[in-house]
């Protein structure tokens, strides 16, 4: 929202869309990778603790 405000304030609202496509999507990819790694660790920890296998 801050980037959108700054972009509108300086008369260049397209800056927000570039920011969203680059920075925010980069953060999204990073968070997806982190979430998958956490989920795998948690899954294997539960398997080890309870001895469940699928």
> pTM for the complete prediction?
0.75
Q: How far apart are CA 52 and CA 46, in angstroms?
A: 8
At 1-54, the pLDDT tens digits run 899 999 999 999 999 999 999 999 999 999 999 999 999 999 999 999 988 766
Measured CA to CA in angstroms, residue 49 lies from 7, 29, 40, 44, 54 at distances of 52, 30, 14, 8, 14
Res 52: pLDDT: 75
Res 54: pLDDT: 62
Sign of CA dihedral 9, 13, 18, 24: positive
């Amino acid at each position: 929202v801050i980037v959108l405000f700054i972009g509108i304030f300086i008369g260049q609202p397209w800056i927000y869309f570039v920011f969203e496509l680059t920075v925010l999507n980069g953060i999204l990819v990073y968070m997806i990778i982190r979430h998958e790694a956490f989920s795998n660790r948690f899954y294997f920890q539960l398997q080890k603790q309870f001895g469940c296998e699928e």
